[in-house]
Amino acid sequence: MAGAELAAEHQEIPDIYDTVMPAFERAYPERDAAALEHSVRNFSQVVSGIVDIAVKKGLAGGDEVTPTELANSMVVWCVANSRLDDYFEDGRGHAARTGPIPPEEVAGLMGEIVARAADWLVGVEALKAEPFLYTAFIKGSAALGADWSCAAD
């Protein structure tokens, strides 16, 4: 099924925000309301864009998600547009730095990746309640990381 046909079939895509907010509330009961709102809004907006990519590429069908797609999705979420990504790119896709990351920067970079991984895990678990969103998000973000896919599948 072509991407346009699939998009027409799924005009009533479930609201991502409403799907994931309860999961974020359960996962982060200590987070103040504004920070929680920001996290869920950010997650929802990124998922929406990735689902759109999956639909346009015809990747949002009912095919089962592979372990490599799941792993690529997580890596894209945790690293793309992060401080780690910025550390190695100069904005034009060229390596900005070489050599090891200075020790004083490692804790901050790892903290950001852990926070992103936690949000991804909470969000993906919530998206499983909406199989179309779950599959489209995983396959769409895996497509963004296709350059680094391994041959495990």
pTM of the model: 0.78
Higher-confidence residue: 140 or 62?
140
What is the domain range of residue 40? 3-8+18-147
Average pLDDT over residues 94-108: 74
pLDDT tier at 4 (50, 70, 90 boundaries)? very low
Decide if 123 is inside a domain: yes
The domain total for the chain is 1
Mean of the per-residue pLDDT values of the chain? 80
| 96 domain residue, yes or no | yes
Q: Is residue 152 part of a domain?
A: no
Of the candidates 130, 132, 86, the residue with the CA atom closest to the CA atom of residue 108: 86
Is residue 77 over pLDDT 80?
yes
| Residue 91, SS3 per DSSP | coil
